[in-house]
Amino acid sequence: MGADLWIISIAIFCLGALMGALNFITTTLDMRAKGMTLMRMPLTCWAWFVTAILGLLAFGVLLSAGILLLMDRNLGTSFFVPLGTVNGVLTGHKGGSPLLWQHLFWFFGHPEVYIAILPAMGLCSQLLSVFSRKPIFGYKAMVYAILAIGFLGFMVWGHHMFMSGMSPYSAFAFSIMTMGIGVPSAIKTFNWLGTLWRGKIRFSSPMLFAIGFVSLFVVGGISGPFLAQPVLDIYLHETYFVIAHFHLIMGVASIFGIFAATYYWFPKMFGRMMNEPLAKTHFWLTFIGAYAIFMPMHYYGMAGGLRRYSQGTEVGWINQLWPIQRFISIAAFVTIAAQFIFVFNLFWSMKKGKKAVDNPWEATTLEWTTATPPPHDNFGGLTPVVYNGPYEYSVPGAPRDYVMQTDAPVTARH
Amino acid sequence: MASFSTTTTLDEPQVSRGKAGGAPPTFDGGDGGRPGRGLPDYPTRLRRARLGLLVALTPVLMLFVSFTSAYVVRQGLPTLDPRTNQLVRDWIPVKLPTLLFVNTIVLLVSSIGMELARRQTKLAAVAATVKPATEAPISAEGKTPWLAMTIALGLLFLFGQWMAWKQLAASGFYVATTPSSSFVYLLTGAHAVHLMGGVLALLVAGLFALLHRSITTRSIVVDVTGWYWHFMAGLWVYIFALLELAK
């Protein structure tokens, strides 16, 4: 019963995600402000757009898997459940394939990790440009890289199943595709560094988290090509090395995106700034804490430390590694405690924060043209007209070091 | 100045879909064809509704693609017979009720009725947008024979599917009898649920006619439901072919 409710709630979540994706895609395609061509969209919007497409294609498959699972549990069908006994009695199921479940689940599951990380990639690109006072390096390359990651994300689900007994030829194909994702990822990383290079960097709290995101993305991502190889995966699967990899890149990096976005757009939402010293304390504790938790896990995994076991004290080679586990646990508790600084800052600043001006970060995009907090209908019944790209910073000859998207068109070469 | 910044000359401000650019004030109606604060005009609303439908059909398609792949995979799987300890196949081909052929014809005819209803309402809507609303022709209001016919045929199809299920059960094929019968119930059921959505949308459109809601809103509902309906008809033909040809 409990599991059925759980599956039903996942199915409802699928429907909700599909509706959300439908909204994002149609809005992006047909309801942009006048002058907002696709190639003038902030990268945040591009990332959400591609994320919505991934969701549109992936959640239907999870929904279908959920329906089949519900039928197996309640109608006696055998899509996934093989022949088996419970307490010595045949269950009545026969012939189903758990591997079929794995395929359907991971066909959704791998795009899902990009659904988690792409929005963070987009908004951190945005923030790196704003706080470096420089145009984003390689805007078009960034857009194409997002599209490429989204496309390749559908080709690699098998790398979650290398140990399922799949044909080595299939594993080889999935392996090549997986390592192929490294290419657009490297393009993005290079462009982020290019954006920072010789910029007039303002180390405000959103920027710290955006830089933190890049750092975590690189460190977490670099272990990807290791795990993408079936031969190495024989050893590394089911170890903490995998935990370290995906928590750094998909977990902590995405959460850094959430933090960066919260600190960045909070003034627009609530009309007040978040407390900066508290935000910086939160950043440093979380940043160092995340590394303290997950870097030792790589070593623990390579040394043979298994995941999914609550206790390893009876196993000799794991037993020797307990100081690492203790260090990880302490780091985790400290990092979790640091999050209360953020929660306090969030609610305290809503009431007591410094009043925010309309455009506190001197950014160019549309949300900063309207009042803070925005009036009803965001722009008070009028929609802005766009003349410029989203990253016109340090434009030579311009009166300020930034040109809003709604300002007169920039025609001077720069 | 940073040496890495891009060197570009910006184009003249361009507006999508060929609307005039010029030098408008910084803020205006924007939103492609929204004059002031009212609803956007009829072609814009129709275009958006069709785009929304097209996007919404994608996950429906993915759902059935996923079912199809499960069908193909499950068909090829052997299972262990606990009595003999040998690998056997538990996939027993289902003899589909001939009623399904009749249902297919009913649905295809309903699709024709749907198309006629779609064109009829669209003509009425275009006529109403040209003429002032007060002079809307009476013939455009209330009388929707094709719509009624489509709803009736849609309900007939659903009833026919229900009867086909009963025939299947009578011939000994229940949901859990064999994986092939599981898939028959699954695919017909999932399709029926989707078609019910279409019937519901048509009923709403009919209700609009009775409530004398604007012909443009009704036309948009009928138009997108029409495309949805055709998709459902095509999907049914596909499902039927899969069940009949890949036993």
Q: What is the pLDDT of residues A111-158, one digit of tens each?
A: 999 999 999 999 999 999 999 999 999 999 999 999 999 999 999 999
**Cβ count within 10 A of residue A137:** 25
Q: Which carries the bigger pLDDT value, residue B168 or residue B9? A: B168
Contact A35 B15 (CB under 8 A): yes
SS3 annotation, B157-190: HHHHHHHHHHHHHHCCCCCCCCHHHHHHHHHHHH
**Cβ count within 10 A of residue B10:** 17
Q: With a cut of 70, say whether residue B11 has pLDDT above it.
A: no
DSSP for residue A114: H
Q: With a cut of 90, say whether residue B160 has pLDDT above it.
A: yes
The CA-atom distances, in angstroms, between A57 and each of A100, A174, B120 are 18, 19, 34
Residue type, B1: M
Return d(Cα A345, Cα A354) in angstroms, integer: 12
Residue A86 parent element (H or E): strand A85-86
Q: Is the dihedral of CA B164, B166, B170, B173 positive or negative?
A: positive
DSSP for residue A314: T
Q: Are A366 and A384 in contact (CB under 8 A)?
A: yes
Residue A90 parent element (H or E): strand A89-90
pLDDT digits (tens, 9 = 90+) for B47-60: 999 999 999 999 99
Helix (H, G, I), strand (E, B) or coil at B34: coil
Token pair of B9 as six digits: 């000359």
Domain B42-245 = CATH 1.10.10.10: no
pLDDT digits (tens, 9 = 90+) for A334-385: 999 999 999 999 999 999 999 999 999 999 999 999 998 898 888 887 889 9
CA A173 to chain centre: 25
Could you say which of B2, B47, B77 has the minimum Cβ distance to residue A95? Answer: B77
Contact B62 A100 (CB under 8 A): no
Give residue B20's pLDDT band: very low, low, confident or very high (50, 70, 90). Answer: very low
All residues at 6 or more sequence positions from A330 whose CB lies less than 8 Å from its CB, including other chains: none
Blockwise average pLDDT, block size 10, chain A, 414 residues? 93 96 96 93 96 96 96 91 78 85 95 95 96 95 96 94 90 94 96 95 96 96 93 92 94 96 96 96 97 96 88 81 93 97 97 94 94 88 89 88 88 50
Mutation for testing the A interface, residue in B3, B27, B53 having most A CBs under 10 Å: B27
B77 touches chain A (CB under 8 A): yes
Count of all residues that appear for chain A in the document: 414
Residue B80 parent element (H or E): strand B79-81
Q: Are A228 and A221 in contact (CB under 8 A)?
A: no
**Strand-pair partners of B88:** B79
Could you say which of A32, A61, A96 has the minimum Cβ distance to residue B62? Answer: A61
Contact B52 A26 (CB under 8 A): yes
The CA-atom distances, in angstroms, between A352 and each of A273, A274, A374, A405 are 9, 9, 19, 31
Q: What are the chain B neighbours of A107 within 8 Å (beta carbons)?
A: 66
Q: Are A62 and A14 in contact (CB under 8 A)?
A: yes
Q: Are B162 and B99 in contact (CB under 8 A)?
A: no
